[in-house]
């Protein structure tokens, strides 16, 4: 359902992604690990054109966009295939939880307001926030804000949810409840690409683990392959340090 072909990204002279190729099947949970500064966030951002790649093709849900020749319409269509969960939640501070979650339904999908609010409510109930519907982000804990962030991504109806270190900014006490929501999504076979340092989550939940370093995919495989039997020295060294 997702195909990334010969993707590269440069910031001026700095080559951050170099010849990235991978595919993700519908319902698959892919976890990306690797040292910081390696291009993981840039890769996720290129998948929905928050950053424009320098070259290569990104295809999601039948919408293919070539970095070197594309239209704005194609980019808009590609963006609708995915939704993002950010490290710092990026909620609208002046909107309540239910308004944050229903926003894309109303503006992007033109869902009638009442219906959008009903859908948003049921998603917020799903992530355990039935008693916080009308709370503003500043009135919520970090864990609750991030669950609103995930609910918002679920409401956006994309094919895939992209998570960029969704628990890194959280106080330790809130990490588990956010991982639990992600685990529930995995059980429901929501396609996900997750950049994380939570190795336990990667081992338990991922169908596939991608190890990135220096702008390359060094190695990918099942959690068992990557964590128990890594082939490359660099993967071995990273995994040893991370576990």
Angle formed at CA 80 by CA 51 and CA 43, multiple of 5 degrees: 30
**Taking CB under 6 A as the rule, does residue 53 contact ligand ADP?**
no
Q: Which does 143 bind (CB under 5 to 8 A by kind): ligand ADP, Mg ion, none?
A: none
| Among the residue ranges 31-39, 57-65, 155-163, 172-180, the one whose residues contact ligand ADP (CB under 6 A) | 31-39
Among 19, 21, 27, 37, binds ligand ADP (CB under 6 A): 37
Least distance between ligand ADP and beta carbon 189 (Å): 26
**Per-residue contact string for residues 35-74; x = within reach of Mg ion by CB under 5 A:** ------x---------------------------------
Tokens of residue 56, six digits: 């290569």
3-state secondary structure of 198: coil
Least distance between ligand ADP and beta carbon 120 (Å): 30
**Taking CB under 6 A as the rule, does residue 38 contact ligand ADP?**
yes
CB 24 within 8 A of CB 206: no
Angle formed at CA 161 by CA 160 and CA 166, multiple of 5 degrees: 160
Q: Which does 11 bind (CB under 5 to 8 A by kind): Mg ion, ligand ADP, none?
A: ligand ADP
**C-beta closer to ligand ADP: residue 46 or 116:** 46
Q: Is 114 exposed, middle or buried (0-12, 13-18, 19+ CB in 10 A)?
A: exposed
Handedness of CA 153, 155, 156, 161 (dihedral sign): positive
- 125-131, Cβ contacts within 8 angstroms, sequence gap of 24 or more: 126/151, 126/154, 126/184, 127/151, 127/181, 128/177, 128/181, 129/97
Least distance between ligand ADP and beta carbon 16 (Å): 4
Least distance between ligand ADP and beta carbon 170 (Å): 17
**Taking CB under 5 A as the rule, does residue 80 contact Mg ion?**
no
CB 27 within 8 A of CB 191: yes
**Taking CB under 6 A as the rule, does residue 40 contact ligand ADP?**
yes
Binding site for Mg ion (CB under 5 A): 41
Binding site for ligand ADP (CB under 6 A): 11, 14, 16, 36-42
């Amino acid at each position: 359902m997702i195909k990334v072909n010969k993707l590269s990204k440069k910031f001026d002279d700095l080559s951050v992604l170099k010849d990235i190729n991978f595919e993700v099947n519908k319902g698959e949970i892919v976890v990306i690990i690797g040292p910081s500064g390696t291009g993981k966030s840039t890769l996720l951002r290129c998948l929905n054109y928050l950053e424009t790649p320098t070259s290569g093709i990104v295809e999601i849900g039948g919408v293919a966009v070539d970095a070197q020749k594309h239209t704005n319409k194609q980019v808009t269509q590609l963006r609708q295939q995915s939704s993002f969960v950010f490290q710092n939640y990026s909620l609208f501070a002046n909107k309540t939880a239910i308004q944050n979650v229903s926003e894309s339904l109303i503006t992007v999908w033109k869902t009638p307001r009442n219906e959008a609010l009903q859908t948003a409510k049921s998603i917020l109930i799903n992530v355990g926030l039935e008693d916080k519907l009308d709370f503003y982000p500043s009135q919520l804990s970090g864990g609750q804000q991030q669950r609103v962030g995930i609910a918002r991504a679920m409401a956006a109806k994309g094919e895939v949810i992209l998570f960029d270190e969704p628990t890194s900014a959280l106080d330790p006490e809130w990490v588990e409840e956010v991982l639990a929501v992600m685990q529930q999504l995995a059980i429901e076979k929501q396609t996900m690409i997750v950049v994380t340092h939570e190795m336990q989550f990667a081992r338990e939940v991922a169908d596939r683990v991608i190890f990135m370093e220096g702008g390359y995919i060094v190695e990918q495989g099942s959690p068992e392959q990557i964590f128990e039997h890594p082939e490359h020295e660099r993967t071995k060294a990273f995994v040893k340090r991370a576990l």
